[in-house]
Amino acid sequence: MDAGGAPLHSRFEGPKGTFDYLPPLADVRARVELTMLEQARLAGYQRMETPIFEETGLFARGVGQSTDVVQKEMYTFTDKGGRSVTLRPELTAGAVRALIEHGRLGGGLVKVAFSGPGFRYERPQAGRQRQFHQVDIEAIGSADPALDADVILVGHEVFRTLGIAVTLLLTSLGDAECRPVYRQRLLEFLRGLGDKLPSEVRARAEQNPLRVLDMKDPYVQELTADAPLMRDSLCKACREHDDTVRYLLGEAGVGWTEAPRLVRGLDYYMRTTFEWQAEALDAAQNALGGGGRYDGLSELVGGPPAPGVGWALGLDRTVLALERAGALPEAPPQLQALVLPLTPAAQGTAVKLVRDLRRAGVAADQPYADRTLRGHMKAAAKAGALAVVLLGEEELADGQASVRDMAARDQVRVPLDSVVPTVARIAATAGDLAPGGREGGASGRPGSAGPPGAGGAAVGIDPSDTDDQGAAP
């Protein structure tokens, strides 16, 4: 047994509810993350990072004591110093805490963007994990409804760029003036249903009646079909705020669906509240991102008045939605040029060529494996190499290399200092063509334009060796 009680030599598995991103999916995920971060940058958000754990009280107070997140889903533990700390279940509370602590709130608008993991002890299923990754934007320091529209516009552009079909659900949750009045009305309605409501729903109603409205249970939905809605109880200021947000979204060409029962699981929201649902995913995990306005959160956690609005993209679910829709972005090329030292004496030249190719932006590598030439060529084709640089004895003696264009299936000998531009041209030409459009034939290809037999191919390769290899990635 080892210290953890597991029999020695037994294998370990990742913790339940976590997900290992292996290649090439991790690259795809990084691209999705970059898409959102780039849209955020274009909208003036600056990167920021906070720790993945915070004092437990921050979430209890900031996210809300009555939420499922705080009551059931937090990873809370006592550290060796006896402090209660919690792995962040979301990023907004930590963001506000950090901005307050460093004196960044209270003096105008701050726009910040985050990317990192969150942790919730949920029942794991596809798209619902215990460790998940969010890309989050927060715009704090203005109550202007135009900012709500601007924050939503970032999301609209993210999904448009990624090509994901989503529905934007939109509602207003009112403010400190109109929501308590509405809450009481709703509570009375729910109490009026008496025993018809299951006991756990009655308990939920007493704690947080709004959360009963977005319960998925069809029986509860039917019973509450006539429940009063926040939308019909907004005060004048909230109504005007909401109207302006909708007007601006309309002007920006952002469509939405009214969602008067959208509540969301975090207590800090007021006024504008929204969620994007993927059309390709099941209801249990189709929320790709969501957020809203949280005026009052700063004061709640000890900061100055600083009204804010933001949202977070669930990166894992977004990748899942792309996967289900068969629209994953292509992973970046891992290998464009393979450099093959065919004699031990060529190794020094090979390492320099690999270095120079990489400096020129070409993904280049050596095989680090013993194979026949034919085996190397097959492996290169399988790995999607566009060019193979062959360094045989004859080439070395002449200060040259043979560069093979894998798609065109032709080969030229060039001086060593022409290898990088020759390979770069082959890669650029391949990149210019649509996927699948890389035809054979060398006409017009700079990499194959040398005079026939220029220098002769010291390492002759029978084209049939590579015929059936599907050279193009």
Give contact residues for ligand HAM (rule: CB under 6 A). Answer: 90-92, 120, 122, 127-129, 132, 134, 136, 138, 264-266, 287-292, 294, 310-312, 314, 316-317
The CB-of-294 to ligand HAM minimum distance in angstroms stands at 6
CA distance 264 to 168: 14
The CB-of-312 to ligand HAM minimum distance in angstroms stands at 4
The CB-of-119 to ligand HAM minimum distance in angstroms stands at 8
The CB-of-238 to ligand HAM minimum distance in angstroms stands at 18
292 vs 341, which CB is nearer to ligand HAM? Answer: 292
18 vs 469, which CB is nearer to ligand HAM? Answer: 18
The CB-of-320 to ligand HAM minimum distance in angstroms stands at 9
**What does the H/E/C string look like for the chain?**
CCCCCCCCCCCCCCCCCCCCCCCCHHHHHHHHHHHHHHHHHHCCCEECCCCCEEEHHHHHHHCCCCCHHHHHCCEEEECCCCCEEEECCCCHHHHHHHHHHCCCCCCCCEEEEEEEEEECCCCCECCECCEEEEEEEEEECCCCHHHHHHHHHHHHHHHHHHCCCEEEEEEECCCCCHHHHHHHHHHHHHHHCHHHCCHHHHHHHHHCCHHHHCCCCHHHHHHCCCCCCHHHHCCHHHHHHHHHHHHHHHHCCCCCEECCCCCCCCCCCEEEEEEEEECCCCHHHCEEEEEEECCCHHHHCCCCCCCEEEEEEEHHHHHHHHHHCCCCCCCCCCCCEEEEECCHHHHHHHHHHHHHHHHCCCCEECCCCCCCHHHHHHHHHHCCCCEEEEECHHHHHHCEEEEEECCCCEEEEEEHHHHHHHHHHHHHHHHHCCCCCCCCCCCCCHHHCCCCCCCCCCCCCCHHHHCCCCCCC
The CB-of-211 to ligand HAM minimum distance in angstroms stands at 13
Amino acid at 398: D
The CB-of-39 to ligand HAM minimum distance in angstroms stands at 15
112 vs 338, which CB is nearer to ligand HAM? Answer: 112
The CB-of-129 to ligand HAM minimum distance in angstroms stands at 4
Burial (CB < 10 A; 0-12, 13-18, 19+), residue 251, is exposed
The CB-of-288 to ligand HAM minimum distance in angstroms stands at 5
50 vs 129, which CB is nearer to ligand HAM? Answer: 129
164 vs 381, which CB is nearer to ligand HAM? Answer: 164
Which one, of 304, 295, 40, lies nearest residue 157 by Cα?
A: 40
32 vs 339, which CB is nearer to ligand HAM? Answer: 32
The CB-of-131 to ligand HAM minimum distance in angstroms stands at 8
201 vs 287, which CB is nearer to ligand HAM? Answer: 287
291 vs 392, which CB is nearer to ligand HAM? Answer: 291
287 vs 387, which CB is nearer to ligand HAM? Answer: 287
Q: Which residue is nearest to ligand HAM (CB)?
A: 314
45 vs 311, which CB is nearer to ligand HAM? Answer: 311
